[in-house]
Structure 1
Amino acid sequence: MSRTGVDRAALGAALAAALGRAVRALRPVPGGDLNEAFLAEADGTRCFVKSSRDAHPGAYAAEAAGLRWLADAEALPVPAVLAVGEADGEGPPFLALEWIDPGRSRPSTAERLGRGLAALHAAGAPSFGSGSAQLLLGPLALPDAPAPDWPTFLLERRLAPLVRLAVGRDALDPAAGVLLERLAGRLPELAGPAEPPARLHGDLWVGNVHVDRDGAPWLVDPAAHGGHREVDLAMLRLFGSGYGPGSTFLAAYEEVAPLAPGAEDRVALWQLAPLLLHAALFGGGYGDRAIATLRRYAA
């Protein structure tokens, strides 16, 4: 049994059955906070496998669908989906993906990411949302049905549910509810000029940009849906990366798709939902940062 409760032998057997080939090795590799990850060797094929006994039913199938949707844009590479396994009596749930040998960023990597992300966003989405009833994020589920506009989607499908979750888990000051009510009336103004729904990665912190041996950026671990394109850009800056104003990345993005006036003032607003999500999942100081952001925009 692994550190997170994943039965490695059962996982190997389930993966072998799904791939139709023997799994010779299943070695742990870094995989984030919500999953346990492995490098699988399966008769000459290497693949990345993630699994968690706490994964919401259907979460890996939804992630696989999101990867395929991002790949359809032909804008940035994403790993191919090799197999999806749901929890049953025979084994744990899992997602098996094409293995990408890691490399180092090159001077061209940030520019390629900027141009590629602009192209991905321009591929668009049918609506704000994923077209599914829920967006599954580890053990959590958020409403994701289409909304008529971005401010409505942000408030009703992200901010309000996340505030309730984080407060309910004692990870957020209950005053957040009052602050959110004040922010709600200002959202249409604060959100800036209306834009059509972009094709978003949806969880694009810097750790979800994988660089291969050729220095090419790959997108991994999406929570793909239709949304405001500035959300992906803001997420890349949330944990102190170098993708802010003046960066090669942002210059390349804006060369393809210039941002609307006031974009810099909206960065922290778009970071509010991921801060609330992290508060609900992990606690710590994320709740304090979320309250500070709510006070800034609710004033």
Structure 2
Amino acid sequence: MKNKFKGMLKNKMFVIGMILFGSMLLVAIFAPLIAPHTYDEQNMAMKLSAPSSEYPLGTDQYGRCIFSRVVYGSRIALSVGIVAVIIETVIGVTLGMLAGYYGKKIDKAITFITDSAWAIPPIILAMAIVLMLGSSAMNVAIAVAVVSWAQFTKIVRAKVQSLKDLSYIEAARIYGESDFNILMRYILPNLTSTIIILATLALPAAILSTTSMGFLGLGAQQPQPDWGMILSEGIQYLRNAPWISMVPGVAIVWTVLGFNLVGEGVKELLDPRLKV
């Protein structure tokens, strides 16, 4: 493992990904120290102003600092993405373990639910969930998780099916271990690398889905600085103030690309044969 980790550090794409995502993570953590203004501070006298020393990346239609809003927006994008991945990991891994271990009717039922979830366009289902629950960052996290757990279930199910008939697990059954203990003590630890890979690769997709919902007006609401919402608001000012849309767009690409590269590096380290 140590040698693999050293090899991963020699992987230029992984290192670039760590730099990109790590820098955005630091921006989110230290947002109050980095941003020159609060995200909701308005100055109508300076609306749609070009980048300057006071407003490094210009202002929007309300005279709010775009740089500050994008910096604070990193907190929403990352926190919602992480919460969504945690929820979908718990749902997907639990269902995948149950389907793979018990098989038969339970497997058929969970497989049917999984296939049904994949049959619905994710963005349509996510929109329906947010419209039903209400527009907020947390509801977006729930919606993103609900439309994304199926991949976890499919892959974990296949892994569990290959593990459940191993000799030491059969021995545990013979000695009277309960199914719960077998799943928690013997099977789940063997899924750790798979879960880490899936979660790592799911985060950039969750962030992209979060910003997409914000772009449609279904994410965090004003005056919260959602990247997707900022990008959407700036479209009508592309000719006069292109920085309104360009800056959050660059932030989205920066973050998603960075963690995609990190995810591929982690996959190469832990299980290069895993098909995701």
Q: Shorter-chain TM-score: which interval?
A: under 0.3
Q: More strand per residue: 1 or 2? A: 1
TM-score (norm 1): 0.23
Higher relative contact order (CA 8 A, sep 6+): 2
Which TM-score applies when normalising by structure 2?
A: 0.24
